[in-house]
Amino acid sequence: MLLEPPRPPSSAHFNDVANTPLSSCLLSGYISAKLKSRGFHTEIYDAFLSRDSFRECSKKLATLRFDILGVNAVYLWEKTDELFLFLHNFTENHKQLPVILYGFFPTFSYREILQHYPFIDCIIRGEPEETFADIAANHAQYGTIAFEKIPGIAFRKDGEIKTTANRALIADLDALPFPDRSELFLKKIGGNILASRGCYGNCVFCCINNFYGDGCCWRGRSPANIAQEIDLIISQLPEPYIYFVDANFIGTGAAGRTRSAAIFESIKNLPQLEFGIECRCNDLDEKMVSLMVSAGLRHVFLGIESASPASLKRMRKGIDRKKSEEAVKLLKSHGIEPNPGFIMFEPDSTLEDVRANFEFLKANRLLDVLSGTANVLYHREIVLRGTHHFKLLEEQQRLEFRDPLGYEGHYRFSHKPVQFLADLMAQVCRDLLKLMQNRQSPLYWKKEQTRASQRVNDFLVYMFGEVLSRLELQEMRGDNDDRRTWEKRASDVIEGLIVSERVCQL
């Protein structure tokens, strides 16, 4: 049994998705398909998509029979303990059941998890398909699992936490069977496809390469193999739309571009199909964008991260502001509004860095729509174990505390005015984003831009710029009184604009 457990919403992080990469949604599907190819009967219970509570999940699992429980252990921010309490309670009545965790969070926090929770038998580190298949084969042959003989895991033996040798990466991704997807998955998640693994970049805030292991490089599936997967699922989708969940779709150098072009050429043969990708700014040029748009490109998540030279250097991003501007303008010229991956505040940001970011976003019209503005103006770097930055800040003793399982590191900004602005915008934007979840609100994020949402957007941009200017000119102390004043002003203005819109509708 492969479990996608419930994911109760976080009040503090409800709009933050950096707890695990988007490709994690396919982990259980890939493991399931691999196990079936080796002759094992496998089921996926997606309690998250079913919207089952932990209590409902436990009741349903109790009615089913299975020999091994695998869990895609996604980090749940401040509610992560609920996952382990559920597993503890379930295993109390199933003491002989091996419980195997996999995914990004357990890969990086395996030591803390195994120390805290003795009912977890094993954690798969990194790429899980071959490792889980070996675990199942070992259990089927011996009725137990000889963990020490299986590469790529962490386990407990004689009271000590042990790790086996790193498992070699899957060199030929075409050899993997396509991931299993349920009707529910296809309906709610859609046509997510992982066309490659890894990244040629080395950004300090990213854990992708470290998840796969030392020496990881970008690996891409063949265009023909990807086309076969699209053909397999396209008729089952609610709409003909594919989203490639690769951290870096286009890949390395000329070979990566040639492969990408071949993929887009094959997609062009499906005239109703539209798609989205995620890529770096330096991967785009006129020829590539033209081909993508002609093939049905609709969405691009563009890894910009910052417009400050100093921040980009600290991030080891490997691009500059000019390249980012060129990529944004290129996409806009083809009618594609990029979704920017952007870190407004990183731990060592100065007001100068923040100003560079703000002016870039305004100049490139990336603050014109409320659903984007309300997100980008508060984004701070989330520091998770498995990233270079977590390790660096830990060595510098700058992590104020880590969550009990060692995954999320909390820090304060080096510069007090930046701390003030980041905290203020986090409060205002998160309150606003909660309002935007309300379907009855004129600010509901899925609606077309209304007069109210445009005015709120303009106020948010004004407020950010005004507070930033006052901090730069040292006209504001940046204390709790200032914060309360601006939070109240924002609340009053936004509420007034909503009321005004409703009156106009009447």
Q: Who's near 477: CB < 8 A, 6+ residues apart?
A: none
Phi, psi of 185 (to 5 degrees): -60, -50
Average pLDDT over residues 388-416: 94
Distance CA(206)–CA(247), nearest Å, equals 10
Distance CA(1)–CA(147), nearest Å, equals 19
- What pairs with residue 244 in β-bridges? 193
DSSP state of 364: T
According to the model, what pLDDT value does residue 135 have?
A: 97
pTM of the model: 0.95
- Kind and range of the H or E element at 309? helix 309-315
Q: Who's near 506: CB < 8 A, 6+ residues apart?
A: none
Alpha helices (H) along 104-222: 104-108, 110-116, 129-142, 183-188, 208-212
According to the model, what pLDDT value does residue 505 have?
A: 58
Grade residue 215 by pLDDT with cuts at 50, 70 and 90.
low
Instruction: Report the C-alpha dihedral over residues 169, 313, 251, 128, rounded to 10 degrees.
Output: 30
Average pLDDT over residues 417-422: 98
Residue 502 reports pLDDT greater than 70: no
User: Which tens digit of pLDDT belongs to each residue from 359-385?
Assistant: 999 999 999 999 999 999 999 999 999
Q: Who's near 105: CB < 8 A, 6+ residues apart?
A: 19, 20, 73, 74, 75, 405, 407
- Beta-strand ranges (E) seen in 281-422 are 297-305, 339-342, 383-384, 399-402, 408-411
CB atoms under 10 Å from CB of 493, counted, come to 16
According to the model, what pLDDT value does residue 287 have?
A: 95
Contact 177, 38 (CB under 8 A): no
Average pLDDT over residues 338-367: 97
DSSP state of 400: E
According to the model, what pLDDT value does residue 6 have?
A: 97
Residue 8 reports pLDDT greater than 60: yes
Among candidate residues 328, 420, 332, 435, the one with its CA nearest the CA of residue 374? 435
According to the model, what pLDDT value does residue 444 have?
A: 85
According to the model, what pLDDT value does residue 85 have?
A: 97
Alpha helices (H) along 342-398: 351-363, 370-376, 388-395
Sign of CA dihedral 349, 355, 360, 366: positive
- Bridge-based pairing of strands 241-244 and 191-193 is parallel
User: Which tens digit of pLDDT belongs to each residue from 110-136?
Assistant: 999 999 999 999 999 999 999 999 999
Distance CA(138)–CA(150), nearest Å, equals 9
Structure tokens at 470: 């006052």
| Structural domains of the chain, with CATH | 2-163 (3.40.50), 190-342 (3.20.20.70)
Sign of CA dihedral 365, 296, 301, 203: negative
Amino acid at 194: L
Among candidate residues 282, 309, 284, the one with its CA nearest the CA of residue 297? 284
Grade residue 448 by pLDDT with cuts at 50, 70 and 90.
confident
Distance CA(65)–CA(175), nearest Å, equals 30
User: Which tens digit of pLDDT belongs to each residue from 455-470?
Assistant: 999 999 999 999 999 9
Average pLDDT over residues 4-19: 89
Contact 114, 155 (CB under 8 A): yes
Distance CA(306)–CA(321), nearest Å, equals 8
Q: Who's near 110: CB < 8 A, 6+ residues apart?
A: 123, 125, 154, 161, 163
Contact 418, 349 (CB under 8 A): yes
Distance CA(471)–CA(491), nearest Å, equals 21
Sign of CA dihedral 94, 95, 97, 100: positive
DSSP state of 177: P
Distance CA(275)–CA(242), nearest Å, equals 5
Distance CA(205)–CA(383), nearest Å, equals 7
Residue with tokens 């920017």: 340
According to the model, what pLDDT value does residue 132 have?
A: 98
Residue with tokens 């970049």: 201
Phi, psi of 90 (to 5 degrees): -70, -45
Grade residue 506 by pLDDT with cuts at 50, 70 and 90.
low
CA 280 to each of CA 179, 194, 300: distance values in angstroms, whole numbers, following the listed order: 26, 17, 10
Average per-residue pLDDT in the chain? 94
Residue 446 reports pLDDT greater than 80: no
For helices 223-233 and 253-268, angle between their N-to-C axes, nearest 10 degrees: 30
User: Which tens digit of pLDDT belongs to each residue from 289-300?
Assistant: 999 999 999 999
Structure tokens at 269: 């043969």
